[in-house]
Structure 1
Amino acid sequence: MIRQAEFFLEGDSRGVLLIHGLTGTPTEMRMLGKGLNKAGFTVHGMQLAGHCGDVEDLLATGWRDWYASVQRAADAMLTKVDTLFVGGLSMGALLALKLAADRPGQIAGVGVYGATFRYDGWSVPWTANLSFLLPMFKRLGIGRNRAFLEQPPYGLRDERLREQVSAAMRSGDSTMAGLLGNPWHSLADLYLLSAQVRRQLRDVTSPCLVAHASNDDIASVRNAELVLREVNAPAELLLLDDSYHMITIDKQRRTLIDRSARFFDTIAPAQTLSAMAG
Structure 2
Amino acid sequence: MSTDGLSFYLEGTNGKGVALIHGLTGAPAEMKLVARQLHRKGYSVYVPLLAGHGAGVAELRRSNWRDWLESVLQAAALLAPRVDDVYAAGICVGGKLSMLAADTSPAVINAVAIYSPCFRYDGWDVPFYYPLLSSQVGWLSRIPFLDRLSFSETASLGIKDKRMRRMIEGMAGSGILEKFPGKGLVEMHRLGNALKSRLSQIRTPTLILHAVEDDLSNPKHARYIAEHLGGPHELRWIEDSYHMIHVDRQHRQVADFTAEFFEASHAANRT
Q: TM-score scaled by structure 1?
A: 0.89
* Structure 1 CA distance for aligned equivalents of residues 266 and 237 of structure 2: 24
Q: 1:122 to 1:232 in 2, by over 3 A?
A: same
Letter in 1 for 2:155: P
Match of 1:130 among 129, 133, 144: 133
Q: Give the match for residue 69 of structure 1.
A: 71
* Structure 2 CA distance for aligned equivalents of residues 153 and 101 of structure 1: 34
Match of 2:144 among 110, 116, 141: 141
* Structure 1 CA distance for aligned equivalents of residues 122 and 140 of structure 2: 21
Deviations 1:169-208 (A, max 9, x none): 4xxx252xx1111210111111111111011111221211
**Matches of residues 94-113 of structure 1 in structure 2 within 5 Å?**
94-113=96-115
**Matches of residues 223-234 of structure 1 in structure 2 within 5 Å?**
223-234=221-232
Q: Give the match for residue 263 of structure 2.
A: 265
* Structure 2 CA distance for aligned equivalents of residues 36 and 65 of structure 1: 27
* Structure 2 CA distance for aligned equivalents of residues 121 and 142 of structure 1: 25
* Structure 1 CA distance for aligned equivalents of residues 267 and 228 of structure 2: 27
TM superposition shift of 1:138: 4.2
Residues 1:162 and 2:162 aligned together:
no
* Structure 1 CA distance for aligned equivalents of residues 6 and 20 of structure 2: 13
Q: 1:87 to 1:61 in 2, by over 3 A?
A: same
Bigger drift between 56-65 and 124-133 goes to 124-133
Match of 1:51 among 42, 50, 53: 53
Kept in 1: contact 2:158–2:215 (CA 8 A) = yes
Instruction: State the superposition RMSD in angstroms.
Output: 2.0
Q: Give the match for residue 151 of structure 1.
A: 154
Kept in 1: contact 2:150–2:179 (CA 8 A) = yes
Match of 1:118 among 98, 117, 120: 120
Bigger drift between 244-253 and 116-125 goes to 116-125
Q: 5+ residue gaps in structure 1?
A: 271-278
* Structure 2 CA distance for aligned equivalents of residues 174 and 30 of structure 1: 12
Deviations 1:125-170 (A, max 9, x none): 232222244354444422332111112111100012213323544x
Number of residue equivalences: 264
Q: 5+ residue gaps in structure 2?
A: none
* Structure 2 CA distance for aligned equivalents of residues 140 and 218 of structure 1: 25
**Percent identical:** 34
Bigger drift between 102-111 and 38-47 goes to 102-111
Q: TM-score scaled by structure 2?
A: 0.91
